[in-house]
Amino acid sequence: MVQKLEIEGGVPLKGEVKIGGAKNAALPVLAASLLTEEEMIIKNLPAVKDVDTMLRVLKHLGVDYERESDDTVRMKAGAPSGDLAPYELVKQMRASVLVLGPMTARHNEARVSLPGGCAIGVRPINLHIDGLSRLGAEVKIEHGYVHARANGLKGAEIVFDRVTVTGTENMLMAAVLAEGETILRNCAVEPEVTDLAEMLNRMGAKISGMGSRDLRVEGVKRLKGIEYSIIPDRIEAGTYVIAGLITGSNITIENCLPKHLHALIDKLQEGNARIEYGNSYIKVSRSPDLSGVDARTTPYPGFPTDMQAQFTALMTQAKGSSVVTELIFENRFMHVQELIRLGANITIDGRTAIVKGPTPLEGAEVMATDLRASASLILAGLAARNTTIVDRVYHLDRGYEKICRKLGGLGARIRRI
């Protein structure tokens, strides 16, 4: 299996790159196919490994699917052929937990493996379990599995202790078929959550309050199948913005929604990045005066944790110091040690990384630990002198569509070895 990427750094990029569908919107939208026996057609799916894993999980649960083209799938959830999301698949992708809500809502039973630890933090699913219990399910942990059983879910008020993206999505998918009204408080408002709510409404659900922290759901008896197109991936777009800046290039990122990236764009402009945008494109120009700025990751609309590693890589090339604080996950600085191996000057103090720049980067062999960490190493490799080899790129393939081809199209010298 191909697992390494080789990058010849120091080459300026030019041209245009097209952004694919959002991985983190696609996963809950696919899981929502469990909520209806009618056919669903999902378009603009990104060609990434996590989408394949979700389709495999759904197949276990009795969803038949057929790929119509690279980015379109037809799916139909008949009677469940099983209720089990096995450890083998869940350990590859935590978001498999997204089947817990819809399975319990439609079939009154679900068994989903507990995901276990993860490179970026402990990542418990207690809020998913508590929420489902509030809706009347009996939820037990047995032999490493979450086993939920219900006799028809009943609407309730659920107040999330902390903002959770997939937790909000799971409870939305459970509540749409529950009897009566559910009020979800302190919800995540990430665009992917709103996208899911809009899709559920098009299937016949009654959700109101979209985009706010409180969502109201009036349960319905059944949902219908629809055709739906996934929103563009804001994190993929943001990663290419940084690719342009870190290499001092002029590039255009197309097919994206800059309105989903305000926190990042504002932050970069504060550091003198030359960025212009319209409704569906972002243009990055060579920015010789890039200066260090501080960033703190918070739930949307704040600065996204999924851009923290890439931003940290960029800050190594900015003038002055930058304090990057990670407030969502407790262990999301694994890329820092590797950036230091490339020549970065970064110190970590608890949840804070202090980056001093600019430091020249020099190619080396580095190891990816998770999806966004691998993106940050590739970005650093593009800016480094000589050759950088990034090991364990399977992390990258989980969430970046055709990244070698897309970067190659911009003129980067990058290849799989």
Q: Which is nearer to ligand EPU, 97 or 339 (CB)?
A: 97
Read off φ and ψ for residue 121, nearest 5 degrees. Answer: 155, 180
From CA 206, how far away is CA 176, in angstroms rounded?
7
From CA 345, how far away is CA 254, in angstroms rounded?
33
* Shortest separation between residue 190's beta carbon and ligand EPU, angstroms: 6
Q: Which is nearer to ligand EPU, 290 or 295 (CB)?
A: 295
The DSSP output letter for 12 is P
Handedness of CA 405, 410, 411, 414 (dihedral sign): negative
- 88 Cβ neighbours under 8 A, 6+ residues apart: none
3-state secondary structure of 166: helix
Give the amino acid at 180.
Answer: G
Q: Which is nearer to ligand EPU, 27 or 336 (CB)?
A: 27
From 118, 187, 256, 404, the catalytic residue: 118
From CA 318, how far away is CA 357, in angstroms rounded?
5
Beta bridge partners of 146: 112, 141
C-alpha separations of 356 from 92, 221, 296, 322, 351 in Å: 35, 57, 17, 7, 17
Q: Which is nearer to ligand EPU, 237 or 318 (CB)?
A: 237
From CA 56, how far away is CA 58, in angstroms rounded?
5
Q: Six-digit token pair at 332?
A: 């999301």
Handedness of CA 285, 289, 292, 294 (dihedral sign): negative
Q: How many CA atoms lie within 13 A of 174 on its CB side?
A: 39
From CA 212, how far away is CA 207, in angstroms rounded?
12
How deeply is 171 buried, as exposed, middle or buried, from its count of CB atoms within 10 A (0-12, 13-18, 19+)? buried
* Shortest separation between residue 57's beta carbon and ligand EPU, angstroms: 13
Q: Which is nearer to ligand EPU, 167 or 225 (CB)?
A: 167
- Active site annotation includes 118: yes
* Shortest separation between residue 182's beta carbon and ligand EPU, angstroms: 17
* Shortest separation between residue 213's beta carbon and ligand EPU, angstroms: 13
Q: Which residues bind ligand EPU (CB under 6 A)?
A: 24, 27, 94-95, 121, 123-128, 162, 164-167, 188, 192, 305-306, 328-329, 371-372, 399
Q: Which is nearer to ligand EPU, 81 or 126 (CB)?
A: 126
* Shortest separation between residue 165's beta carbon and ligand EPU, angstroms: 4
* Shortest separation between residue 250's beta carbon and ligand EPU, angstroms: 28
Residues designated catalytic = 118
